[in-house]
Amino acid sequence: MSMNSMQRVLTTLSHKEPDRVPLFLLTSMQGAKELNMSLKDYYASAESLAEAQIRMKIKYNNDCYYSFFYAPVETEAYGADVIYKDDGPVNSGRPFITTAKDIETLRIPAIEEAPSLQKVILATRLLKQEAGDQTPIIGVVMSPFSLPVMQMGFESYLDLIHEEPELFKKLMQKNEEFCVKWANAQLEAGATAICYFDPVSSPTIIPPELYRKTGFLVAQKTISQIKGATATHLASGRCLDISEDLCQTGTYVVGVSMEEDLKIVKNTFSNKLTVLGNLNGIEMCRWTAEEAENHVKTAIQKAGKGGGFILSDNHGEIPYQVSEKTLIAISDAVQKWGNYPLKEHND
């Protein structure tokens, strides 16, 4: 029986096999190419992002809408600068926490007064009008534990964690309050679930022992206050060394890295968390159609059995340089190899 995208995703989240493997092509920047706009002009308009998402869902047989604009949309709400590029993601400008003492007087933005956040809210509402209950809309927050990399810079943040525990605690409290309000505002606008981006928590960045004392506790507290399902994404970071901890944060999905074997990852999270991943977005820029099909087929064979798997890239944002032809090849390969019951052999 053919399913719509919402049915397909909900079935796989229940660790059962839907009609086929769900496909989440997390395209944001590609929307500018779809509408023949510069990235700066494209991101200035909620209407443009929504229109591009609607077009790309049809073109790529995608199973979600993605209301994500760019990572520093949150620091922009604090008044920080953002830096646009012609062919890549929008970057954060200078950190606005210049000394640890600035944390004492830091005020979190009001969602309704921040133009950068209101663009996301409007785009979410427009997508909800189109999606109804047929297609999931994925909103995004930066985790309270990972946001300080943009707020104060990576090195200063590590110093804060190790040398200023009370100010670290105070920053986490403020970031948790903002993150919860921001996530719930997107859910109220129509988002189905929230992607909780948390790269600093990955063992690629910090030791698991430090995570358990910091980012893990922050995630438990924050996710428990978000009024909808969350997917934790470590943005290319590894996850196996903290797999049991992730299962205890209250999240439903884990975005996984191409640096870890997908079969081992799937077995580790089987009947616990749904696995999202793990196509290599950087290599994707150079793939032929045949290579795209082989990578899709391999991922599905490793992780698709029994549900609990959504095919996606490994970072949570497909690079601007990935061609339309490659994305179509990925989509076609899912239609060929992702139907349940899965093909056991390369026939």
CATH architecture type of domain 5-337: Alpha-Beta Barrel (3.20)
Q: What is the pTM for the complete model shown?
A: 0.97
Structure tokens at 250: 């209250």
Q: Determine the angle formed by the axes of helices 165-189 and 154-163, rounding to 10 degrees.
A: 120
Radius of gyration of the CA atoms of the chain, in A = 19
The candidate with the shortest Cα–Cα distance to 114, out of 170, 186, 195, is: 186
189-210 mean pLDDT = 98
What does the DSSP assignment read for 136-163? Answer: -EEEEEE-TTTTHHHHH-HHHHHHHHHH
Tens digits of residue pLDDT in 221-235: 999 999 999 999 999
Q: Residue 20: its pLDDT value, please? A: 98
Rounded to whole angstroms, the Cα distance separating 16 from 272 reads 12
Determine contact, residues 308/271, Cβ cutoff 8 Å: yes
Q: Is the pLDDT of residue 193 over 70?
A: yes
pLDDT at 15 over 70: yes
Average pLDDT over residues 188-217: 98
Write down how long the chain is.
Answer: 347
Q: Which pLDDT score, from 0 to 100, does residue 189 have?
A: 98
Q: Does position 344 have pLDDT exceeding 90, yes or no?
A: no
Confidence check: pLDDT of 347 > 60:
no
Q: Where are the beta strands (DSSP E) in the chain?
A: 65-66, 82-83, 91-92, 137-142, 193-197, 229-233, 253-255, 274-279, 309-313
pLDDT at 32 > cutoff 90: yes
pLDDT for residue 181 is more than 60: yes
Distance of CA 283 to the CA centre of its chain: 19
d(CA 142, CA 105): 21
Burial (Cβ within 10 Å: 0-12, 13-18, ≥19) of residue 217: middle
Q: In percent, how much of the chain has pLDDT > 90?
A: 98
Long-range own/partner contacts, residues 236-240 (CB < 8 A, 24 or more apart): 236/199, 236/204, 236/314, 236/315, 237/199, 237/201, 237/202, 237/203, 237/204, 237/205, 238/202, 238/203, 238/204, 239/202, 239/203, 239/265, 240/203, 240/264, 240/265, 240/268
Beta bridge partners, 65, equal 137
Q: Which residues pair with 194 in a beta bridge?
A: 139, 230
Q: What is the pLDDT of residue 345?
A: 52
Q: Where are the domains of the chain?
A: 5-337
Quote the mean pLDDT of the chain: 97
